Structure 1
Amino acid sequence: MPAGTPELSVVVTVVDGGEAVRGVLDALVRQDGAPPMEVLVAWDDTIPEVGALAAAYPTVRFIAMGTVQTERPPRSPAGQHELFDRRRSAALPHTT
């Protein structure tokens, strides 16, 4: 990833965890000719394997959210949508 003051903030919303996130991060850190960017990944207790990726991607900021409460059952489609929105929005205050 290009160094310097970020011109672009990329918030990765985790849906499937592990290998899917690894593929996205690999593609982002290998960008050629991209503007300086920051990559943020918010994750919660339901996807602990994502936090374990932090050591492999030192230029990516991983934001641990702990346990996330949803108003709808987390396994329902509406609850999943709410959880993904909460993950995405948790990273926004951390952008530069």
Structure 2
Amino acid sequence: MTQPLARTPGLAEVTADDHATVLNLPRIEEQQVPYAFEGTAFEIWARIDGTRTEAQIVTELAEAYEVVPDEIAPEVRAFVARLAELGLVAE
């Protein structure tokens, strides 16, 4: 994906140093539950800021965890796709 990843407008979020809890207010009628992101999920979520592309996030995480980008790219892609399904990220 070459477009920067952005969070869906209208989310409610509480963030600490190492975790975030997110509620999709526009979908509240669908009985959405809060989503808690910790560990690498939080690291990905924190980087979805409307300025970074998926490839940039993969590169940053690979450097932070000292792994080859190709090793983590599929997991990042799958997580971003799941966030999009949940309506948390606009792809």
| TM-score calculated relative to the size of structure 2 | 0.29
Q: Which has the higher helix share?
A: 2
Larger radius of gyration: 1
| TM-score calculated relative to the size of structure 1 | 0.28
